[in-house]
Chain A
Amino acid sequence: QQPVQSPQAVILREGEDAVINCSSSKALYSVHWYRQKHGEAPVFLMILLKGGEQKGHEKISASFNEKKQQSSLYLTASQLSYSGTYFCGTEITGGTSYGKLTFGQGTILTVHP
């Protein structure tokens, strides 16, 4: 039931772009994205709801393909501050699972000068 993230790790130079994918075998109600710096708590980036639109800010955005139960996080023109571990969290549709997130194993993103 745990969503699968890919790649497991990615190394970039400042200014380069990256895509992180999250795939589930279950029908999803929502997908969350979080970033965690070493030794700190995860921080919420954005949520994508079933039937909703692609979300994001200027350089970090995400999409949700409901038919494939997949989400992708897009990081554009990366900055040093983007370094960290990115987690997707999925909430499946219906039943007693509503309100609970299951997290992927994480993608380690390293941005070098």
Chain B
Amino acid sequence: NAGVTQTPKFQVLKTGQSMTLQCAQDMNHNSMYWYRQDPGMGLRLIYYSASEGTTDKGEVPNGYNVSRLNKREFSLRLESAAPSQTSVYFCASSLQGAYGYTFGSGTRLTVV
């Protein structure tokens, strides 16, 4: 039972480059989320998808786009990476809002 799988685990980008972070879950969860974690700031929501076909902005959406490809997959795209986007990114999923989240193992991204 894989749970939530994120790829890649580590990535170094140059300023201005683009990349897509992949996330897939095999628990038949409806809702999926992208968070970033920075030291001392906890987890901040970037985007979320309450169900297949819908997406909505979180607290810090600027510089990011998302795609809910199907019920299993939710990708996060950085179109033009900036050093301020250096962070650890976590994907999470839940059955619905009133259930606990299952997090992926994270992607550590460094933008130089």
Interface residues of A, Cβ cutoff 8 Å to B: 2, 29-30, 32, 34, 40-44, 46-47, 49, 87, 89, 91, 96, 98-106
B111 CB–A CB distance under 8 Å: no
Taking the closest CB of chain B, its distance from the CB of A50, in whole angstroms, is: 10
When A41-B90, A49-B98, A91-B97 are in contact, do A102 and B45 touch as well, CB less than 8 Å?
yes
Residues of B contacting A43 in the complex (Cβ-Cβ under 8 angstroms): 103
- Report yes or no: A42 in contact with B58, Cβ–Cβ below 8 A: no
- Report yes or no: B58 in contact with A105, Cβ–Cβ below 8 A: no
- Report yes or no: A44 in contact with B102, Cβ–Cβ below 8 A: yes
- Report yes or no: B41 in contact with A100, Cβ–Cβ below 8 A: no
Q: How many A-B residue pairs have CB under 8 A?
A: 60
Chain B's closest residue to A46 (CB) is B100
Q: How many residues of B contact A (CB 8 A)?
A: 26
- Report yes or no: B90 in contact with A42, Cβ–Cβ below 8 A: yes
B40 CB–A CB distance under 8 Å: yes
Cα–Cα distance between A96 and B48 once the two chains are bound (Å): 11
B31 CB–A CB distance under 8 Å: yes
Q: Which of B44, B45, B97, B106 contacts A41 (CB 8 A)?
A: B106
Which residues between 29 and 59 of chain B lie within 8 Å of chain A, taking CB atoms? 31, 33, 35, 40-45, 48, 50, 56, 58-59
